[in-house]
């Protein structure tokens, strides 16, 4: 996954639709949160086993929501001047330090 290419493609869509004024970090955080809630809704009331064995239609829906979340987070990183790859690597290294035995 080339994050720079994905971000450029997102910027094209944003710019073609004049959405830039709406893409503040605050708005992008709220949009990502809404998409996360839509992902959570797929799993609401399912057992642990059911959540691991989604029917094809629900699995595809979950994938769509995950994609929405990731794309909003890419836009947020762009707006804040954060390098998503580096942010994730830093967090992973921190988790390895804190939780690996």
CATH number, position 62: 1.10.287.1080
Q: Could you count the other beta carbons within 10 Å of the beta carbon of residue 9?
A: 13
Which sign, positive or negative, has the C-alpha torsion 35, 37, 41, 47? Answer: positive
pLDDT digits (tens, 9 = 90+) for 80-91: 999 999 999 999
pLDDT digits (tens, 9 = 90+) for 53-86: 999 999 999 999 999 999 999 999 999 999 999 9
- The answer on pLDDT for 48 being more than 90 is yes
Number of folded domains that form the chain: 1
- List Cβ neighbours of 25 (8 Å cut-off, separation of 6 or more): 76, 79, 80
Determine the Cα–Cα distance for residues 80 and 95; give it in Å rounded to an integer: 23
Residue whose token pair is 């708005």: 27
- List Cβ neighbours of 80 (8 Å cut-off, separation of 6 or more): 25
The answer to pTM > 0.75 is yes
Q: What is the domain extent for residue 9?
A: 3-99
* pLDDT given for residue 101 in this prediction: 84
């Amino acid at each position: 996954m080339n994050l720079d290419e994905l971000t450029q493609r997102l910027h094209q869509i944003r710019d073609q639709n004049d959405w830039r004024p709406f893409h503040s970090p605050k708005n992008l955080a709220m949009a990502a949160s809404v998409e996360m809630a839509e992902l959570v809704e797929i799993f609401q009331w399912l057992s642990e086993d059911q959540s691991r064995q989604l029917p094809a239609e629900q699995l595809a829906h979950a994938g769509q929501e995950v994609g929405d979340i990731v794309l909003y987070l890419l836009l947020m990183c762009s707006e804040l001047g954060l390098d998503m790859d580096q942010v994730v690597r830093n967090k992973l290294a921190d988790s390895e330090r804190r939780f690996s035995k």
